[in-house]
Structure 1
């Protein structure tokens, strides 16, 4: 027996009824696979039908992809699929050339990462030397730093913060996950020379291989 057409309030209710949870998960999965960059929850909700809850769908997908070849990970305020850490060797290419950043760029990037939001004057105060425009431009071109809000101080100086691309490159969920001094030394990523002007060892020293740029 065929179902009679919906009318009145019933028709209006079904029109705005959110898709089933399983369908919402498929939608989020499709959006993330199709995107070359991490996607924010608000952007997913904007793309999906009315009433969808991308955040809840993400929670289910995180559990579904546990132990798989790809994981669903958070990158700053966005989400992306990434190769499982133990399978990273499969993605390596013998032709990859490792180009190290200059010491000035490494120190500048580390100061921004550990002290953000930070102004150029504050970077120079910590380093003890001036910061060249070329150093900042290089980090901006890499899309590892971006301009933050201007300080409500005389001159309204612009601040710098690290980007989601920086977090994604180093496999970090947020800047709070940056390693401390002991972790960097234990991993062999930091020598015994302190960063110029640094007083907080656990929050300001970083150099060498940690900030290598793959090109």
Structure 2
């Protein structure tokens, strides 16, 4: 099939449609959603990259969050935006440590988190991260006991201004920010998280029965309120 020729008028109209769809949504908009509503023959990713460039110098920027898009206040203008009506979410040191471990080591189990930290992780700490929408159950590890694996969410990327997990800061960036200090063991390297939402070879998908066991579904399959 030959590529569809797109004239300038159709391209500008597609940009306007994409702009309106993202602007009207309270959540990041998926490329699949955009593709269903754009003129035939328009490739979504190049179109959104063009729109992103057009907004780069404005007070709001178009940002990519995985395969979703959203408008956000330009980073250098955040000081001018007052959020007095919003409760500031403060995480405990334990929650920050657990979140960092999940982000860099995912998919990871609770036992593996505790092994890395050297202390037990309370259910309340994981509950806080899940209520924030930053951590999710991924699947179940194919190992004795079939422990649940944990990973981060698209909301995590959105909140921390990351397009994808590969944008997590590396060791040199963490050193520069003063977040890695003291003596670093020889041969220490930052772990590379699993970069996709797809399950790994040693993970099984979570079933409704698993969700019931985890307390996320009431018996019979109804969501637990």
TM-score under structure 2 normalisation? 0.70
Please state how far the C-alpha of 1:84 moved relative to its aligned partner: 1.5
CA distance in 2 between partners of 1:31 and 1:25 (Å): 10
Is contact 2:109–2:150 with CA below 8 Å preserved after alignment? yes
CA distance in 1 between partners of 2:101 and 2:80 (Å): 33
Please state how far the C-alpha of 1:108 moved relative to its aligned partner: 0.7
Is there any run of 5+ residues in structure 1 with no aligned partner, and where? 1-18, 205-215
The match for 2:181 is 192
The alignment covers a number of residue pairs equal to 182
Secondary structure of 2:20's partner?
helix
The match for 1:70 is 60
1:173 paired with 2:163, answer: yes
Is there any run of 5+ residues in structure 2 with no aligned partner, and where? 1-8, 193-225
CA distance in 1 between partners of 2:147 and 2:101 (Å): 17
CA distance in 1 between partners of 2:54 and 2:76 (Å): 18
Aligned-CA RMSD value: 2.7
Q: 126, 142, 145: which one pairs with 2:135?
A: 145
Please state how far the C-alpha of 1:67 moved relative to its aligned partner: 1.4
Secondary structure of 1:192's partner?
coil
Q: 155, 158, 175: which one pairs with 2:145?
A: 155
1:44 paired with 2:34, answer: yes
CA distance in 2 between partners of 1:97 and 1:44 (Å): 32
Q: 98, 116, 122: which one pairs with 1:132?
A: 122
Please state how far the C-alpha of 1:152 moved relative to its aligned partner: 2.6
The match for 2:20 is 30
Is contact 1:73–1:81 with CA below 8 Å preserved after alignment? yes
- With a CA cutoff of 8 Å and minimum separation of 6, indicate the structure with the bigger relative contact order: 1
Q: Which stretch shows the higher mean deviation, 163-172 or 96-105? A: 96-105
